[in-house]
């Protein structure tokens, strides 16, 4: 597992990631989407596994699901499990806000 740290303190990260908006981040050779809800951060692959639609304009619901803007497939933000639709689960990446920044873990094989 490779770990990447964005920023140098939590306050910077909270300013960098607006609430409820997906931002694209390049970590090594892997581009992922990161979404902030309060002080929680969620990392996931940038394209829907159903038809490859960009998730940069995805939105969330009150159940903690990421909703693809193309066909409204729903994925659990924490696990990536598909909740509505028929495709594979969304790849997710561990994100942890620390006093020294946002730590994101990416599997070695990516």
Residue 30 per-residue DSSP state? E
CATH of residue 9's domain is: 2.102.10.10
pLDDT in tens, the chain (110 residues): 999 999 999 999 999 999 999 999 999 999 999 999 999 999 999 999 999 999 999 999 999 999 999 999 999 999 999 999 999 999 999 999 999 999 999 998 77
- Predicted TM-score (pTM) of the model is 0.94
Number of domains in the chain: 1
Which residues are paired to 24 by β-bridges? 33
38: domain range? 2-106
- Residues whose CB falls within 8 Å of the CB of residue 100, separated by 6 or more in sequence, listed in order: 5, 7, 8, 9, 10
């Amino acid at each position: 597992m490779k770990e990447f740290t964005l920023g140098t303190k939590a306050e910077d990260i909270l300013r960098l990631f607006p609430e409820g908006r997906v931002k694209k981040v390049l970590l090594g050779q892997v581009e992922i989407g990161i979404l902030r809800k309060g002080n929680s951060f969620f990392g996931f692959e940038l394209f829907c596994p159903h038809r490859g639609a960009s998730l940069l304009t995805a939105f969330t619901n009150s159940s903690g699901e990421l909703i693809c803007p193309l066909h409204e497939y729903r994925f659990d933000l924490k696990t990536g499990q598909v909740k509505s639709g028929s495709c594979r689960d969304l790849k997710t990446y561990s994100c942890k806000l620390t006093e020294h920044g946002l730590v994101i873990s990416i599997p070695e094989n990516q």
